[in-house]
Amino acid sequence: MAINDERDEKLDLWLHRRGLTPASSDLAQRIILRAQQVPQIRTASLWQSIRELCAEFHLPKPAYVLASALTIGLVIGFSTPQDNDSSGKDVVAAQSFLAVDEAIL
Amino acid sequence: MPTAWPEKDDNELLSLIQNGSSQAFSTLVERHTERFYRLAYRYLQSREAAEDVVQDAFIKLWENPALWQPEKNSKFTTWFYRIIVNLCLDFRKRKTLAPLDDGKQLIDEREPMDETMIRAQEQKMLEKEIAALPERQRIALNLCFDEGLTNQEAAEIMGLNLKALQSLIMRAKTTLKARLKSIL
């Protein structure tokens, strides 16, 4: 029994004092340098992806004001009814005026 | 005032790495390279191979920092030990290694020559017998005796319950005692 205990203790001691070949002193630096050459894979959540997409289209505030003014202008312009009859009358009047001028010549 | 890099804990550094901080990565590498190398070396018994494994593991983390999920893993070191163990197993499957580095580095020059030689010889025999143990017993032994991890931590790394780990260690020690009977 005592021999067995002694063996146990000796084995534990050996296991605790096992030798080790130390790593190269520049191992950490090598890893850091290597990482600098490797691009990161970025995996983002859905919400983060949407936010990033919106950020891509970010415009400064004056640009929003200008774009809004143009949009409102276009909407108002297209929604105003056009008077087609009056423009037709103008054409007839101009043609008769020209015809009068030619008759004099 | 922001915390200096070396004072940041592992979780803070990992969160910064996930945002692309190479300085956080450098701090983490400098902090832990040595301990992960130790485990890899114990398992592979080759400096070059152990250094390759540690480098691969860190580069994988840098490439894809989302691998670290704090909500799933309690502690960075426990999680990373598991990665190192898996990479060592892969490495061993791919390559056949020389049994042991030359014994030069194992010798402590402060001791008298006879004692040193005897100890080196004992260590060589011990390493040879440890290398002959089944894989899981070898890993359990390395985690518990070299890394100073608690049995619970080692069990977590190996994905075992505490009793299973204790049983692995007991079987490993019984085998070693039997095989080293002549010199113990």
Shortest CA gap A55–chain B (Å): 17
Mean pLDDT rounded to a whole number for chain B: 86
**Are the Cβ atoms of A18 and B146 closer than 8 angstroms?**
yes
Question: Of A7-11, B8-12, B97-101, B168-172, which range is least confident?
Answer: B97-101
Chain A residues in contact with B22 by the CB 8 A cut-off are 32, 35-36
pLDDT confidence tier of residue B103, bands split at 50, 70 and 90: very low
Work out the percent of chain B whose per-residue pLDDT is above 70. 89
Chain B residues in contact with A25 by the CB 8 A cut-off are none
**Are the Cβ atoms of A11 and B50 closer than 8 angstroms?**
no
Is residue A28 scored above 90 in pLDDT? Answer: yes
Range picked from A81-95, B106-120, B140-154 for highest mean pLDDT = B140-154
pLDDT confidence tier of residue A4, bands split at 50, 70 and 90: confident
Q: Burial level of B109, CB count in 10 A (0-12/13-18/19+)? A: exposed
pLDDT of B120 reads 81
Binding-face residues of B in 137-166 toward A, CB within 8 A: 141, 145-146
CA distance B180 to B81: 29
Tokens 């799933």 map to which residue?
Answer: B72
In this complex, which of A19, A23, A41 lies closest to B37 when CB atoms are compared? A23
Chain A residues in contact with B176 by the CB 8 A cut-off are 11
Binding-face residues of A in 22-51 toward B, CB within 8 A: 22-24, 27-28, 30-32, 34-36, 38-43
Shortest CA gap A37–chain B (Å): 10
Average pLDDT on B84-96 reads 87
What number of other Cβ atoms are within 10 A of residue B165's Cβ?
23
For residue B152, give the amino acid letter: Q
Are the C-beta atoms of A23 and B33 separated by less than 8 Å? yes
pLDDT of B23 reads 94
CA distances from B136 to A102, B38, B39, B130 (A): 112, 17, 14, 11
pLDDT of A96 reads 72
Is residue A48 scored above 60 in pLDDT? Answer: yes
pLDDT of A21 reads 87
**Are the Cβ atoms of A7 and B101 closer than 8 angstroms?**
no
Query: Residue B149's closest CA among B47, B80, B66, B57?
Result: B80
Q: What 3-state class would DSSP assign to A25?
A: coil
Give the DSSP letter of residue A38. S
pLDDT of B111 reads 54
Work out the percent of chain B whose per-residue pLDDT is above 90. 55
Average pLDDT on B133-150 reads 88
Query: Residue B50's closest CA among B10, B101, B14, B123?
Result: B101
Ordered alpha helix ranges (H), chain B: 10-18, 22-44, 47-63, 76-94, 113-131, 135-145, 151-158, 162-179
CA distance B95 to A95: 98
**Which of A5, A7, A16, A21 is the best residue to mutate to test the B interface, defined by the most B CB atoms within 10 Å of its own CB?**
A21
Average pLDDT on B84-109 reads 68
Q: What 3-state class would DSSP assign to A29?
A: helix
pLDDT of B104 reads 46
Q: Burial level of B17, CB count in 10 A (0-12/13-18/19+)? A: buried
Average pLDDT on B126-152 reads 89
Chain A residues in contact with B37 by the CB 8 A cut-off are 23, 27
CA distance B84 to B66: 17
> pTM of whole model > 0.80?
no
pLDDT confidence tier of residue A104, bands split at 50, 70 and 90: low
Shortest CA gap B175–chain A (Å): 11
- Which run of H or of E encompasses B45? none
Say what angle helices B22-44 and B76-94 make with each other, to 10 degrees.
Answer: 50
B95 half-sphere exposure, CB direction, 13 A CA radius: 14
Say what angle helices B162-179 and B151-158 make with each other, to 10 degrees.
Answer: 100
CA distance B63 to B86: 18
User: What is the tens place of the pLDDT at every residue in B107-133?
Assistant: 455 555 677 788 888 888 898 999 899
